[in-house]
Amino acid sequence: MDKIFLSALRVECIVGIWEWERRVKQTVVIDLEMAADIRRAAASDRIEDTLDYKKVAKRLLAFVGDSQFQLVETLTEHIARIIVVEFGVAWVKVRLNKQGAIRGARDVGIEIERRAGDYASGASNPAGGRPIEAATPVAPVPHG
């Protein structure tokens, strides 16, 4: 299997459960591996014949930058869904790193792998069958 990767995509967003995290944007770092058969593009030398990683990056920068999730798990799942559903990728590995979230640890985050079959029906859609943008919470939930 061929893979296209994108490493260390840095995006500032609202993510977290604590009240201060709902007010201050934090940087998350995203690493992606995306299945892609590159043979056609290699033969044609045309961007139209491959996964355009610049378009993927621009989509994620916009989505993540506007998001306001409480959990990195939720954000990571939505990123995977965007890549699989919107870009027609058969398999993706998403690693999301919320650096500095734990005192004494440089990195903390989540890594998931998803396939196209994971999003075959609205029932398995983490957004509950709604478009991704509609699933983004807009109001913080008070904690503690």
Q: How is the chain split into domains, by residue range?
A: 3-135
Predicted confidence at residue 134, as pLDDT, reads 36
Its sign, for the CA torsion 11, 27, 34, 86, is negative
Q: Is the pLDDT of residue 136 over 50?
A: no
Inter-residue contact 22 to 82 (CB < 8 Å): no
Q: Has 98 been annotated as catalytic?
A: yes
**Token representation of residue 46:** 């045309």
pLDDT digits (tens, 9 = 90+) for 23-81: 999 999 999 999 999 999 999 999 999 999 999 999 999 999 999 999 999 999 999 99
Confidence of residue 122 (pLDDT cuts 50, 70, 90): low
Over residues 88-95, mean pLDDT: 97
Report the share of the chain in percent with pLDDT over 90: 74
pTM of the predicted model as reported, rounded to 2 decimal places: 0.82
Inter-residue contact 91 to 34 (CB < 8 Å): yes
Question: How far is it, in rounded angstroms, from Cα 14 to Cα 140?
Answer: 10
Predicted confidence at residue 105, as pLDDT, reads 85
Inter-residue contact 67 to 82 (CB < 8 Å): no
Over residues 127-134, mean pLDDT: 40
Inter-residue contact 30 to 95 (CB < 8 Å): yes
The alpha carbon of 1 is separated from its chain's Cα centroid by a whole number of angstroms, namely 21
Predicted confidence at residue 130, as pLDDT, reads 37
The one catalytic residue in 3, 25, 58, 98 is: 98
Class level of CATH domain 3-135: alpha beta
Report strand pairing: 109-115 vs 68-69.
Answer: unpaired
Q: What are phi and psi of 76, to 5 degrees?
A: -65, -40
Predicted confidence at residue 18, as pLDDT, reads 92
